[in-house]
Chains A and B, each alone.
Chain A
Amino acid sequence: MKKNLLITLLLVMANLFLFSCSEEDGEPLPTSAIIHFSIAQKQVAFTALAINAKTYLWDFGDGQTSTEANPVHIYTDGGYYTVTLSVTGGTGTVTAESDLAVAVTPYVLLTGGATAENGKTWKLTAAHTKNDRLANSDLTFTIAKGAPAELPTGAFDLFLGMGEVYQDTYTFHYDGGYGHDVKADKAAFSGLVYQMVTTGGAGIVNSGGKDFGLCTGKFTPEAGATFTYVEKEDFVVPTVYGPGGKLTYPGVSTLNFSGKEFLGFIDFQRKVILQDISDKTMRVVMFMAASPDHLPLNTHALVLTFSVVE
């Protein structure tokens, strides 16, 4: 009995010293590689996201190569390039490939350029970025009262039960044409007040987001719709936050649409601010008038990221 207890004690003591070295596991992961990059004009900073790697070989697609892990390359000419990365490591050689658009105009980023036959199709991304938010329609888009500081992934689905808003697609054509697919629910992401005022509520399909003044409403995309892109303008928006019921957003890029068409979110205000665009993602500010007392002044804004539908 006594002996056993002593042994227990010794084991406990021994554990103490073994603890720190018992965590490592044996099997290394197989060699793998992912290309990551960022573009600033013609300078591209590449990062090899590699596992179990020893050597790197980059082909920048313009005849230049590098053996650094994370090279910075400056392209002489703008345009689309295909970059390949070969990584050799513990379990062999793997290759990754990535397309990049260097010094390409926002209009080309939006539409895919003249060569893109079917234009370029976008949808709201469920993987919200840090800048995505439910905001007030003030000058700096401060976070709306009661809204989370950051939108978690799948927020509209997980918390509001309106996952279908992530499904709808929006297609921009180089020639200015605009296409829109509302998918199976035949409804669009919309403001609750807008729906109540315009349809008396009859158009509401899913009111899961009613606590935030959000819903989906019936929408039939218009045939032959067009869009207008302005790279830089002073955009005046009716809002409760400005003096005299309006605010000017100076020097912003905007998108506007023909007829009743819109991007992402249908409300009284259909012209949106394009805050940022890259080859794969763009961030757009969509306004919303959520106070029946102040119609048609906007009270809120949805700052959301769209991603390309491959």
Chain B
Amino acid sequence: MSNKANSKLTSPVGMAYIFLIFCCWLTSVPAALAQSPIKITGKIISEADSEPLPGVTIVIKGSQAGTVTDINGAYSIEAPNQNSILVFSFIGFDSKEIPVGNQTIINAALTETSTGLDEVVVTALGIERQERSLGYSVGKVKGEDLTRVAQENVLNSLAGKVAGATINSTGGTGSSVSMIIRGATSLNTDNQPLFVVDGIPMSNSLNNMGQFGADNIVDYGNAISDLNPDDIESISVLKGPSAAALYGTRAGNGVVLITTKKAKKNQKMQINLVSNTVLDIPFKFLNVQKSFASGYFSFRPEDVGGGVLPPVNAGDAAGSGPELDRGYFAQQWNAPLDANGQPIPTELVSNPNNIQDFVNTGITTTNGISASNSTEALDYRINLTNMTHQGVIPGSDLFKNNFSTSASTRLIKNVTLSSSINYNRTWSNNRPSSNRGTNPLQWAYSNPQEININQLAEYWVPGQEGLQVVRVSPNHENPYFLAHEVKNGFERNRIYGNIIAEWEISKSFKVRGRYVLDQYDERRETKIPLGYTKEPNNGAYGLGNNTASERNIDVLATYSKVWDKLNFSMSVGGNSLYAKNTSISNSSKSGAGLIVPNVFSVSNIANASLDYQSYWSQRGIYSIYSMANIGWKDWLYLDLTARNDWSSTLPTENSSYFYPSASLSLILNEAFSLTEKITQLKLRGGYAQVGNDTRPYNLYPTYNNYGQWGSAIRLGKSGTILAPNLNPEKATSYEVGADLGLFESRVRLEGTYYFMQNRNQILPNIPLAPSSGFTNININAGLLESQGVEIVLGITPIKTANWNWDLNMNFSRNRTRIIELQDGVDVIEFWSDNKSYSYGYVANEQTGEDGLVGNIYSFQKARVTDRNSPYYGYPLIGQGLDAEWLPQAKPVKVGNYNPDFLMGLQSSLSYKNFVLNMTFDWRSGGQYMSQTFRYFSESASTQSWLDNLVNPNGLVPGDELRDWVIANADQLLLSEELRPIGGPTPAYGGFPEGFSGTTVYDGTFAPGVVGYHDEEGNFVLTQENLGGEGTVFLPYVVSFPWDFGTPAMFDADFIKLREISLGYRLPRAAAEKLGIQGATFSVYSRNIMLWTKDSGFGIDPERAFQAEASKGNRGTQFKQGIERYNVDPWVIPVGFKLDVSF
């Protein structure tokens, strides 16, 4: 590796020669002596810990002669003369040059490269490049930054560390984790980047949801979680097409290049033990109300003539009954019986700890052992890791075994053969289900506040075990039963590996051939016994198997040559991809059930109840590609790439597609002499195109089995018109940026602007008029534009012998707009739920549509539009029992689920052997809809809804109340807030109402007017609903405005402490006494919510995903910006990690 500082030191070779002759002449030293080779020996250590460094390259400057250090860091080399200069270089360390002079022993201490601007990064096709020569931005994360805090899914470790990458997880341990780079650019895929591990493309779809049995939706977690974080040496994130163009088809969403750990050349035998335990302690729960019992009316004893209240029925609305902890008595669920066998009323008390009692502290333990060695014959590394996890939700678990090997050997002179093989087994006896149905948390939160949840823990009715479940009402499920008895198990076996042969034909010509394979099969089995109300017919059973495999064979020939001022390198290669996916599933149809209970076998499903399916697809892509890098005088670099793909999923005539890229890097401080304070100033720019094919079976209709009609078997085509003339999608991107390093790289600034156009989107299932004979059509049109900014700022404010403090900040902002769809289509719908819609409209100045992807639309209040009316602007109200606000007919834009910007901050502070690391993640802007909030508020069970009520402060129905409402018109009538006046008890300002046959003070009213607009647009009043005469007071239980989406919309801004760890490294002397090489102990925590703008209800904004496919099955099986019962409690993890090397 060369060093940027060298060019000034290395004056032209000629000068040195003249100097040499001059010296000879001046000192009269015989030329023969000066010319005789000098044998030099020495030892190279790391400056940080004085450890010997094996594998350091030592070359005589200006020659090809060189050697490497052995396992003790020792070397020996012959220098031609005293004027020779030795160059010591090692990956991750700054190079050092030492003139030989009259020394024969040269020891050197190398310093680790600070987070500088001149690192080696892994780029496309696994080629290591100096970052200075790149014309595009690459995100880099070191392995140690990934494993400092244990994460079950490696993607979680990237949160906050890479500018432009958004990481979202859908739930707790084992759930899917989404990574989106530079925003969603495709409207019909899951926008996940391509993951490449040591050249092996890994299959990782977000679509790993499954469902057997009615409303039993399970997230089995995406397959990238099979990667063992402890195996990872480094990660490069190639963000845009410029960086990733060589990966072709799948590079449009970026590429995450993962390099695994391998034995280092000349290292000695090393055994490494890592043990990790993390406790997930739940600490924050949904803000459900805890002070009211079930019921439709909030009776008080004085309302019912004193004494015992009417029986409290747990099946009634959950939070609008009598107030708890007031000394009230009523007959309740599971009432004790007196001597005559009659139920006894009991005191109505709250149970504020129900959810705390229901959930557990999660425990995850990971233990790993690895051995690596480098010998004459073979360099190898073997790793074994085991993980066990007991979830926060009782009964849930997850297990993982990882086995990986890598080895390389020099087969014959100049031919290196290397291989890695990884085997992972991931399994669970019980994954908790999400969404609504069998989700245990849904029912734990739905448990009436007057009932202690522990009464449900023994979930079988005594004497009827296996037949009758204890439940508080026929409408309720037992959360303990769901957690322990509804078993969603799975087992995934995955093998991936490679064989690589590299032949160094000459110094400047190399050929590499690779065979890589990734293959898994996943078996899912769901067992639902009798006791779940939606599977009343002896329960349900399902058994499925999915397999995926992808094989790639590629060859790459590289020619490189260094002339005086010109560096040149060119590679040509080709790749053959073959992928095959299969799935088969057999299950009982939703609600159809089993023949006898508790026998979980497909044979126990009656013919008419059996749902059976199988599917397979295959896909091939052939590619050739080429790349050229030209460097001029260490300050100008040009990269050119070109690739052509032939895909089997496109029509033959369109199956070939070509795309080029070009990027330029200009290092100004090398080209011109700038002030010394500037360590580096680099300008870069790039242009790239990538093409994208489609999924299999997207061209021609195929027949599906539509079940039997009597004895006839029915086959049918789908109602969607496919597009037989599909063109490949084409993304074009432009990227410019600048990198600045100041004060010995203690200040580092990196900025990037990008612009990307994505054409020919393949949009499935656009609705058609049914008169056409079809319901949907797939179109191949449209244009999406994304643009964004990424800024990375690094500062090292403190750097002394004992102290070091590094700060790294990153900022990113992305906007994606729909510019075109197809003629006659100006909008596509992503989801409609919660009286809200996510629409993607084509940007249009006339209609005011901004075209942004992620927009959310919902309804606003209908109002009096007659300017001459005294009620102008007042909300319109329904009549009688429907005295609620009325919505406008058309929804309007109310938010967007994408953030305005993301910021990450990493801080690393070290003092001697202690290191404190922190990663913060700030998401600003964006909204989400919470269906959980809507459902719970509709049943009057959220504290937030109680808090939202307006207290009339003792005013009673009448003119005074009406005057007060009008005096506060700005808040109560003219704003878009939906806040009823009144509440469940007199303390809340509840108004008297008599719907129960007795007068109860739990009335509320929606302020507004009843009436209509006549043909001239004049408002005709029917009735005021302003608190005066004629106002309809409805019980609190019906106060939630169900026809509106916005009461359940929240801002998604948050700041999270992604990681915090305090580590201690055993000093070298102490380690030696113990007979070990080194040991590190650390305590850590992760993912702690520090601040949310608007989460009074307690939903984690990051988990605003709903486990359901979006409209028309576009994109993922998750709807973005909306959630339904995604309500895992917030946890504070506390982790301990011990890392010992022998």
A residues apposed to B, CB below 8 Å: 2, 5, 8-9, 12-13, 15-16, 19-20, 23, 25, 29-30, 32, 34, 36, 38-40, 43-45, 47, 49, 51-52, 70, 72, 125-127, 129-130, 149-150, 152-154, 157-158, 161, 163, 166-167, 310
B881 within 8 A of A: yes
Alpha-carbon distance between A174 and B981 when the two chains are bound, in angstroms: 50
| Contacting residues, chain B, for A38 (C-beta < 8 A) | 338, 340, 342
Alpha-carbon distance between A211 and B920 when the two chains are bound, in angstroms: 59
Alpha-carbon distance between A167 and B346 when the two chains are bound, in angstroms: 29
Whether the pair B997, A125 counts as a contact (CB closer than 8 A) is: yes
Given A34-B307, A161-B880, A161-B881, does the pair A154, B340 have CB atoms closer than 8 Å?
A: no
- CB closest residue in chain B, given A23: B352
B768 within 8 A of A: no
Which residues, 190 to 233 on B, are CB-close (under 8 Å) to A? none
B546 within 8 A of A: no
| Contacting residues, chain B, for A72 (C-beta < 8 A) | 338-339
Given A12-B1132, A23-B353, does the pair A158, B342 have CB atoms closer than 8 Å?
A: no
Alpha-carbon distance between A70 and B352 when the two chains are bound, in angstroms: 28
Interface hub of A25, A32, A158 (most chain B Cβ within 10 A): A158
Whether the pair B347, A158 counts as a contact (CB closer than 8 A) is: no
Interface size class of B (residues with CB under 8 A): 35 or more
Alpha-carbon distance between A276 and B327 when the two chains are bound, in angstroms: 30
Given A2-B907, A23-B353, A158-B1035, does the pair A310, B996 have CB atoms closer than 8 Å?
A: no
- Which of B295, B311, B327, B995 is close to A163, meaning CB atoms less than 8 Å apart? B995
| Contacting residues, chain B, for A310 (C-beta < 8 A) | 305
B1060 within 8 A of A: yes
- CB closest residue in chain B, given A164: B997
B310 within 8 A of A: yes
- Which of A8, A9, A29, A158 is close to B327, meaning CB atoms less than 8 Å apart? A29
User: B358 → chain A, closest Cβ, in Å?
Assistant: 14
Whether the pair B1088, A152 counts as a contact (CB closer than 8 A) is: no
Whether the pair B1090, A5 counts as a contact (CB closer than 8 A) is: yes
**Known A16-B283, A40-B340, A49-B329; further 11 A-B contacts with Cβ < 8 A:** A12-B1090, A16-B281, A19-B283, A51-B347, A52-B327, A72-B339, A129-B311, A154-B996, A157-B996, A161-B880, A161-B881
Whether the pair B283, A15 counts as a contact (CB closer than 8 A) is: yes
Given A16-B1132, A310-B305, does the pair A45, B340 have CB atoms closer than 8 Å?
A: yes
Alpha-carbon distance between A5 and B329 when the two chains are bound, in angstroms: 48
| Contacting residues, chain B, for A32 (C-beta < 8 A) | 327
| Contacting residues, chain A, for B340 (C-beta < 8 A) | 38-40, 43-45
Given A15-B283, A40-B340, A43-B339, does the pair A5, B920 have CB atoms closer than 8 Å?
A: yes
Which residues, 295 to 321 on B, are CB-close (under 8 Å) to A? 295-297, 304-305, 307-308, 310-311, 313, 315-316
Which residues, 939 to 972 on B, are CB-close (under 8 Å) to A? none
User: B138 → chain A, closest Cβ, in Å?
Assistant: 29
- Which of B329, B342, B997 is close to A34, meaning CB atoms less than 8 Å apart? B329
- CB closest residue in chain B, given A11: B1090
| Contacting residues, chain A, for B304 (C-beta < 8 A) | 127
Whether the pair B316, A152 counts as a contact (CB closer than 8 A) is: yes
| Contacting residues, chain B, for A5 (C-beta < 8 A) | 918, 920, 1057, 1090
Whether the pair A47, B344 counts as a contact (CB closer than 8 A) is: yes
Given A126-B998, A127-B996, A161-B880, does the pair A152, B342 have CB atoms closer than 8 Å?
A: no
Alpha-carbon distance between A13 and B920 when the two chains are bound, in angstroms: 17
Q: 29 interchain pairs (CB within 8 A)?
A: A5-B920, A8-B1090, A13-B1132, A20-B353, A29-B327, A32-B327, A40-B341, A45-B338, A45-B340, A47-B338, A51-B347, A70-B338, A126-B996, A127-B304, A149-B474, A152-B296, A152-B316, A153-B296, A153-B316, A153-B996, A154-B297, A157-B994, A157-B995, A157-B997, A161-B880, A161-B881, A163-B994, A167-B997, A310-B305
Whether the pair B997, A163 counts as a contact (CB closer than 8 A) is: yes
Alpha-carbon distance between A5 and B916 when the two chains are bound, in angstroms: 13
Whether the pair A36, B1132 counts as a contact (CB closer than 8 A) is: no
Alpha-carbon distance between A44 and B315 when the two chains are bound, in angstroms: 30
| Contacting residues, chain B, for A157 (C-beta < 8 A) | 994-997
User: B362 → chain A, closest Cβ, in Å?
Assistant: 14
Chain B interface SS verdict (over half): loop
Which residues, 352 to 366 on B, are CB-close (under 8 Å) to A? 352-353, 356
Which residues, 328 to 381 on B, are CB-close (under 8 Å) to A? 329, 338-342, 344-347, 352-353, 356
Whether the pair A130, B997 counts as a contact (CB closer than 8 A) is: no
| Contacting residues, chain B, for A49 (C-beta < 8 A) | 308, 329, 345-347
B714 within 8 A of A: no
Alpha-carbon distance between A51 and B327 when the two chains are bound, in angstroms: 6
- CB closest residue in chain B, given A15: B283
B326 within 8 A of A: yes
Alpha-carbon distance between A25 and B310 when the two chains are bound, in angstroms: 27
Contact flags (1/0) for B428-457 with A, using CB distance below 8 Å? 000000000000000000000000000000
| Contacting residues, chain A, for B281 (C-beta < 8 A) | 16
Alpha-carbon distance between A167 and B1035 when the two chains are bound, in angstroms: 19
User: B330 → chain A, closest Cβ, in Å?
Assistant: 10
| Contacting residues, chain A, for B297 (C-beta < 8 A) | 153-154
- Which of B296, B326, B344, B1132 is close to A154, meaning CB atoms less than 8 Å apart? B296
| Contacting residues, chain A, for B474 (C-beta < 8 A) | 149
| Contacting residues, chain B, for A16 (C-beta < 8 A) | 281, 283, 1132
- CB closest residue in chain A, given B1037: A158
Whether the pair A36, B997 counts as a contact (CB closer than 8 A) is: no
Which residues, 1075 to 1089 on B, are CB-close (under 8 Å) to A? 1085, 1088
Alpha-carbon distance between A153 and B316 when the two chains are bound, in angstroms: 9
Which residues, 1052 to 1108 on B, are CB-close (under 8 Å) to A? 1057, 1060, 1085, 1088, 1090
User: A82 → chain B, closest Cβ, in Å?
Assistant: 15
Given A12-B1088, A38-B338, A70-B338, does the pair A152, B327 have CB atoms closer than 8 Å?
A: no
User: A77 → chain B, closest Cβ, in Å?
Assistant: 19
User: A142 → chain B, closest Cβ, in Å?
Assistant: 14
Given A38-B338, A163-B994, does the pair A29, B311 have CB atoms closer than 8 Å?
A: no
| Contacting residues, chain A, for B353 (C-beta < 8 A) | 20, 23
Alpha-carbon distance between A70 and B336 when the two chains are bound, in angstroms: 12
| Contacting residues, chain A, for B310 (C-beta < 8 A) | 127, 153
User: A35 → chain B, closest Cβ, in Å?
Assistant: 8
| Contacting residues, chain B, for A8 (C-beta < 8 A) | 1090
User: A276 → chain B, closest Cβ, in Å?
Assistant: 12
| Contacting residues, chain B, for A2 (C-beta < 8 A) | 907
Given A9-B1088, A70-B338, does the pair A154, B329 have CB atoms closer than 8 Å?
A: no
Which residues, 261 to 319 on B, are CB-close (under 8 Å) to A? 281, 283, 295-297, 304-305, 307-308, 310-311, 313, 315-316
| Contacting residues, chain B, for A15 (C-beta < 8 A) | 283
Which residues, 24 to 38 on B, are CB-close (under 8 Å) to A? none
| Contacting residues, chain B, for A166 (C-beta < 8 A) | 997
Contact flags (1/0) for B866-890 with A, using CB distance below 8 Å? 0000000000000011000000000
Whether the pair A152, B313 counts as a contact (CB closer than 8 A) is: yes
Alpha-carbon distance between A34 and B309 when the two chains are bound, in angstroms: 11
Alpha-carbon distance between A40 and B283 when the two chains are bound, in angstroms: 50
| Contacting residues, chain A, for B346 (C-beta < 8 A) | 49
User: A26 → chain B, closest Cβ, in Å?
Assistant: 12
Whether the pair A150, B315 counts as a contact (CB closer than 8 A) is: yes
Alpha-carbon distance between A51 and B326 when the two chains are bound, in angstroms: 9
Alpha-carbon distance between A161 and B995 when the two chains are bound, in angstroms: 8
Whether the pair B344, A127 counts as a contact (CB closer than 8 A) is: no
3 shortest A-B CB distances, which residue pairs? Answer: A126-B997, A127-B310, A154-B996
| Contacting residues, chain A, for B305 (C-beta < 8 A) | 310
- CB closest residue in chain B, given A167: B997
Given A49-B329, A161-B881, does the pair A154, B342 have CB atoms closer than 8 Å?
A: no
Alpha-carbon distance between A241 and B341 when the two chains are bound, in angstroms: 33
Alpha-carbon distance between A49 and B344 when the two chains are bound, in angstroms: 9
- CB closest residue in chain B, given A43: B340
User: A207 → chain B, closest Cβ, in Å?
Assistant: 14
| Contacting residues, chain A, for B339 (C-beta < 8 A) | 43, 45, 72
Alpha-carbon distance between A12 and B918 when the two chains are bound, in angstroms: 16
